[in-house]
Amino acid sequence: MQDSPLTAPLPAVVNELGQLFADANSELSLVGGPVRDLFLGRTSPDLDFTTDADPDRTIAITRKWADGFWEIGREFGTIGLRKGSFTIEVTTYRAEAYDPSSRKPVVAFGDSLEDDLFRRDFTINAMALRLPSMELVDPYGGVKDLHAGVLRTPGTPSSSFSDDPLRMMRAARFASQLGVEVAPEVREAMTAMAERITIISAERVRDELTKLINGSQPRRGIDLMVETGLADHVLPEVPALCLETDEHHRHKDVYQHSLTVLEQACELETDDDGAVPAPDFVLRFAALMHDVGKPGTRKFEPSGAVSFRHHDVVGAKLTAKRMKALRFDNDTIKAVARLVELHMRFYGYGEAGWTDSAVRRYVNDAGPLLERLHRLTRSDVTTRNRRKAERLAFAYDDLESRISALAEQEELASIRPDLDGERIMALLGIKPGPVVGRAYRYLLEERMEHGPHTPEEAETKLRTWWSEQPESAEGDAS
């Protein structure tokens, strides 16, 4: 134990709360991530505390001080508080025991800070500041490990991961967020126990995966998951990208390519207008998953080349299926899968150029994902052939210029037929039904192919189309 030199960066509410508990003859310590972040020069948005007081006592001490509180985590000894802009959790000392076959911990309250710290996931999170004295409590060498950039567990890794297998995902997440290396014994335990992650709920795994992908170095976290076998159970489509190659059928290492695309996508996230602010999970996850359709579509051609026809469509389906299994929300699933499906579309432009109608379709198909698609497509160039890379970059620059030029003339982001459904029915004298949909699609195709029309031009085209339809014989549209 030692005096803490970190009093200055702490918000005033920390000392206030510490004094409240001291005045009530109860212990209170700032613990875990907020303490770790102080050593990293960061301010944690959430404040976590641990105490010898039980939940009832915590509520009694803080009721008049806090702006609000909630008891959702009460069964685990946690009381949530709100004070000004701060979200605070106060948890009674714990000595948890886990049922190896259960997803949920069996909670037992403890009676000492040191025992509480021992049950935490990693030494860098097993540090505390006693309040209000600001005494640093670091019984397991968390500060030393943090400075060394090493991830270790307070006890044996096997016991820690057996207690809570989700800690293996946290190890990969911290590799991404903090750039730390896992200690050899931690890596060994992750490898031996990777299958235990399957007892953890999909929602908890999803949350850790999202934090990993949004970290500053997601490649490190994904690599750790793949190397330890954790990804085989969480994200099996990614290790499947490690395709075997031989001297007769050479092609890119798809796994390493995908990680490079992920890194390059991260670098392109934030631009001057903030169109894709960092971190952007949808762009990053699409970059990681964009080629997952390749293993299932790989074909060795007679020429010795390797093809992956329709891997974009197959990959989109695999991505959506995996994200559904991980309980992602529908909007996120649709966005990521759509980017995977569209990531090859640009290459037709690079090879032959497009008409204005093809450019319109590209914009329309991308919809609100267009800015992300721009970045994903540019990130997908990992060739070492400088001339090829420059040619592709020039082609995409040209495509973006054409999109901008057309956008000045037309509302590309929201292309609609020149006549709406109400006007179509009025002109043709028909009621709502499938025919209206057909007419609407015809006008949309005309809009895509030829650009915007005046209402008069659109009406003339619609009447001509209608005269060729079998239903027009049933009544006079004029």
Chunked mean pLDDT (size 10), the chain, 478 residues: 53 94 97 92 85 95 93 88 93 74 65 92 96 95 96 96 95 97 98 97 97 97 98 97 58 85 94 80 98 91 82 96 98 98 84 77 88 94 86 86 76 65 83 83 76 81 83 58
**What CATH number corresponds to the domain at position 220?**
1.10.110.30
Q: Does a structural domain hold residue 241?
A: no
Residue 105 has a pLDDT of 57
Shared domain for 314 and 222, answered yes or no, is: no
pTM: 0.81
Strands 181-182 and 105-106: unpaired
| Burial grade of 121 (CB within 10 A; 0-12, 13-18, 19 or more) | buried
Tokens for 236, please give them. 């099996």
Q: Could you tell me which residues are beta bridge partners of residue 130?
A: 29, 135
Shared domain for 315 and 374, answered yes or no, is: yes
Residues in the chain: 478
Q: Mark which of 131, 148, 165 sits at the end of a domain.
A: 148
Residue 108 has a pLDDT of 72
Q: Mark which of 412, 428, 445 sits at the end of a domain.
A: 412
Residue 7 has a pLDDT of 40
- Show Cβ contacts of residue 195 under 8 Å, excluding neighbours closer than 6 positions: 229, 233
Residue 114 has a pLDDT of 93
Separation of alpha carbons 268 and 379, rounded Å? 8
Residue 8 has a pLDDT of 42
Residue 94 has a pLDDT of 85
The amino acid at 130: R
Q: Does a structural domain hold residue 229?
A: yes
In which domain, by residue range, is 468 found? 416-474
Shared domain for 161 and 131, answered yes or no, is: no
Shared domain for 405 and 430, answered yes or no, is: no
Residue 247 has a pLDDT of 42
